[in-house]
Structure 1
Amino acid sequence: MAETAVQTDHERGAAPAPPPRGRRGRRTALVASALVVVAAVAVVGALGLGGGGAQEGSSAPPRSGSTVPVTRTTLTERTTVDGRLGYGTEVPLPVKATGTVTWLPAEGTTMGRGGTLLRVDDRPVVLLYGALPMYRELGLTVGARQGTGQGAGTEGGTQDSGDQGRADETSGAPDPSASPTPGGAGGTGGTLRGMDVLQFESNLAALGYTGFTVDEEFTGLTARAVKRWQKSLGLPQSGTVGIGDVVYSAGNVRIGHAGVRLGSPATDDALTYTGTSRKVVVNASAAEDSWAVRGAAVTIGLPAGTSVKGEVASVGKSATAPEDRGGEGGSAAPTVPVTITVKDQKSVGRLESAPVTVEYAGRERADVLTVPVAALVALAEGGHGLETADGRFVAVKTGLFADGRVEVSGSAVREGMNVRIPE
């Protein structure tokens, strides 16, 4: 009689018997533990702290992780924006000379008081310092010239004594045919007066041409000094300063680009200029320019990796939409120009133009409890918490994030308590 083959459940392909109750419970616990680890890693990644992907066999942070104290301090949010180092925006020089441009300075040239900005019809246009623009011819009026016995371009009839010169200028009746004082400025006995006279005489004296009283009155002695100045410039010694002979600025200038070529007629935009101090211009977002307040301190990062201190000098009042260079329609936010000055020009080195970064302080939270951002953990019930040195977890509310730390608050958090940083 044939033997009957007996197959086991394993040979028939049946599923193995379920593990004992104890093994199942331990497996459930391991799964829950893994979920907590995944949640913690997700929080670290969301805060920008994460490294690479999860490694095989990862587990909960070890109990031996380092501990740090909860400290009370002031947190300041710092933001970095892009800027441009240079000499600022070039503006046209107010050239009023008429004629043909016969000489131009090289771009980048620094010009001071008494320097020749350009030549028109081979006559120098000279830089002087002042806030009032040149708006009229400066010289003796017809009556004043006749009273002193002087003619245009002559030295005759000029007195050596300052007091005598003033007496001669005002002696005799004014010439009825004389034209009114140029520009409508007041005068006595045909003498030109005004703040523009004071400004010009101050410059003339600063250049070393003296022998007159620096005041608001253009006298015969002023005319004599002007003639000596004109002689040094190779000009006809008329004693009269033409409206196109000088240009005023607040101080030294740095020559920008020329708007005309040699041989072209002189125009208002014949030459541009900037100041001589390097500065930074930032095109700040019009929606986030609350930091840009005149006098606000900033830190400028240079290409070499060094940094210098800067100060906000001016903020534009008109927002401008950036040009669309992608051809897909303008989506960039409008910006306003913010000009930042650098007091210590030597700290910038030899750089004249370069991309830089500007760091400014934004929001600030004073006298708050803080911990390193890495100390935050995700709680199973949601939100953030801290692990104490003895392994307990306490819930916290987060505030400002700055400088690698985060503001924390909660009923169970106190200054000086130690919390663990998971490894």
Structure 2
Amino acid sequence: MTLQDHTDRTGRSDHTGAPSAVHPGGSDSPAAPASRRRRRPLRTALIVLAALAVAGGAEVAATGALDGGGDDQPSAAPSGPPRTAEVEQRTLTRTQTVEGTLGYGTTTSVQAPGAASASPGGNAQGGSPSHGADSPGAEILTALPGEGDTVSRGESVYSVDDRKVPLLYGSIPLYRTLRAGSEGKDVAMLERNLAELGYTGFTVDDEYTAATAEAVRAWQEDLGRERTGTVAPGEAVVAPGARRVAGVTAAIGTMPTGEILTWSGTARIVAVDLDVQYEDLVDDGMKATVRLPDGTSVEAIVTGVGTAATAASGSVGGGRGSGGSPKATLPVQLSVRDQKKLGRYQAAPVDVTLKAETREDVLAVPVEALTARREGGYAVQAVHGGEVEYLPVKLGLFANGMVEISGDGITEGLIVGVPK
């Protein structure tokens, strides 16, 4: 193939048959093609400059940044923010969600007569006076409740030799034998219970009279006990209120020694081991929301706040702080008034949302509407028509993605930019 054949196929030869390569200043290149080649770089440069100008303008509009180099520059951004929101007057509530446990609270033990003082944690009296394991008259347990049973005032906690040992409501255990002539708070506790159970003929006070003794005899007869008219330690169990049996330790047919059973309150409560950093979030009487495993929620009230304690290393449920050190927690108890809303849950992990602080009728905007100022503090972009004015604001309560603001020019309904 000849050189002429090659240039004919490519179409890049001139009339002389030589390659049409252009050299700067060459006189053998045609005038028209050379002119077109010279204009293309200029056209490309103009397009690039135009694109850069458009991009730069878009960046200024998006960031709200202004070039303050000239005195004739406006104080507002040349275009509005991508999104806007209104300044709202509303109620803000600060909340914190923590883990809790639904259950019946702390359990206590019911001890056999004479065992409460010898057994750590024994805080409930029970049974009739013990004769001792080796005594000829040793007594035998003849009835016991079942786990989950509820025992109310006057009902039998258990039976010894077929004699019922009832429950009385109060805070003072039977620590002495009460008889005519006795005086004190334990006497008043006994008489209040007798009156609540329907026994009459005496005055409820702190004096054990003959009339009190007669009412006691009637009560003892109903219980299947000997009509002595006196009440000895161990002839009744005293607790703050109705009890739910958590577990039974003793067995029917054995002597009542040591722990007989454990029980708790009858109402389900929520217990929280609160991290001490949230100590300011809780106080007695404060409302909270409890979220159950099935997703339903129920209202609760803080009824007890304990003293901060450090979990022992390796203890069950004991958290660990930074560096592996034991984490200090605050025991918090919450009560649920509407027990029916708890469904059939007897024990379950729950989420507790504490409502710590509430601010009513404040002006608020989304947190994203805040803009940091170079000189410190924050501002919002007030949108007036097509212009934006930066207004310094003072911040208040943060809650649920909103923030309380105040300052000159901040009014309800004001349109502000949301640049983020």
Normalising by structure 1, what TM-score?
Answer: 0.67
Alpha-carbon separation, structure 1, partners of 2:61 and 2:374: 10
Cα distance change on mapping 1:111 and 1:37 into 2, 3 Å = farther
Q: Deviations over 1:134-193 (max 9, x none)?
A: 1112235xxxxxxxxxxxxxxxxxxxxxxxxxxxxxxxxxxxxxxxxxxxxxxxxxx333
Shift of 1:91: 1.9
- The one-letter amino acid of 1:228's match is A
Q: Which structure 2 residue ranges, 5 or more long, are not aligned?
A: 4-16, 24-39, 65-78, 111-123, 131-138
**Is 1:198 aligned to residue 228 of structure 2?**
no
**1:289 aligns to what SS in structure 2?**
helix
Aligned counterparts, 1:259-270, within 5 A: 259-262=249-252, 266-267=256-257, 269-270=259-260
Alpha-carbon separation, structure 1, partners of 2:379 and 2:325: 36
Q: In structure 1, what is the equivalent of residue 102 of structure 2?
A: 85
Shift of 1:261: 4.1
* Structure with the greater alpha carbon radius of gyration: 2
Aligned counterparts, 1:2-401, within 5 A: 5-7=19-21, 17=41, 20-29=44-53, 32=56, 67-93=84-110, 94-97=124-127, 98=130, 100-139=140-179, 191-262=181-252, 266-267=256-257, 269-321=259-311, 324=314, 330-331=324-325, 333-364=327-358, 368-373=362-367, 375=369, 385-386=380-381, 388=383, 390-395=385-390, 399=395, 400-401=397-398
Shift of 1:24: 2.9
Shift of 1:124: 2.5
- The one-letter amino acid of 1:5's match is P
**1:338 aligns to what SS in structure 2?**
strand
Alpha-carbon separation, structure 2, partners of 1:192 and 1:417: 76
Cα distance change on mapping 1:119 and 1:363 into 2, 3 Å = same
Q: Deviations over 1:358-384 (max 9, x none)?
A: 222335556543223455578999977
Alpha-carbon separation, structure 2, partners of 1:127 and 1:390: 77
Alpha-carbon separation, structure 2, partners of 1:410 and 1:238: 80
What is the RMSD computed on CA atoms of the aligned residues? 4.0
Shift of 1:340: 1.2
Q: What is the count of residue pairs matched by the alignment?
A: 345
Q: Deviations over 1:65-115 (max 9, x none)?
A: 664322344432222222222222112231343455443211221111111
Cα distance change on mapping 1:17 and 1:345 into 2, 3 Å = same
Shift of 1:122: 4.3
- Does the 8 A contact of 2:380 with 2:417 survive in 1? no
- The one-letter amino acid of 2:364's match is T
Alpha-carbon separation, structure 1, partners of 2:54 and 2:325: 50
* Identity percentage of aligned residues: 39
- The one-letter amino acid of 1:245's match is E
- Does the 8 A contact of 2:281 with 2:355 survive in 1? yes
**1:362 aligns to what SS in structure 2?**
strand
Cα distance change on mapping 1:230 and 1:312 into 2, 3 Å = same
Cα distance change on mapping 1:407 and 1:228 into 2, 3 Å = closer
- The one-letter amino acid of 1:28's match is L
Alpha-carbon separation, structure 2, partners of 1:76 and 1:303: 24
Shift of 1:410: 6.0
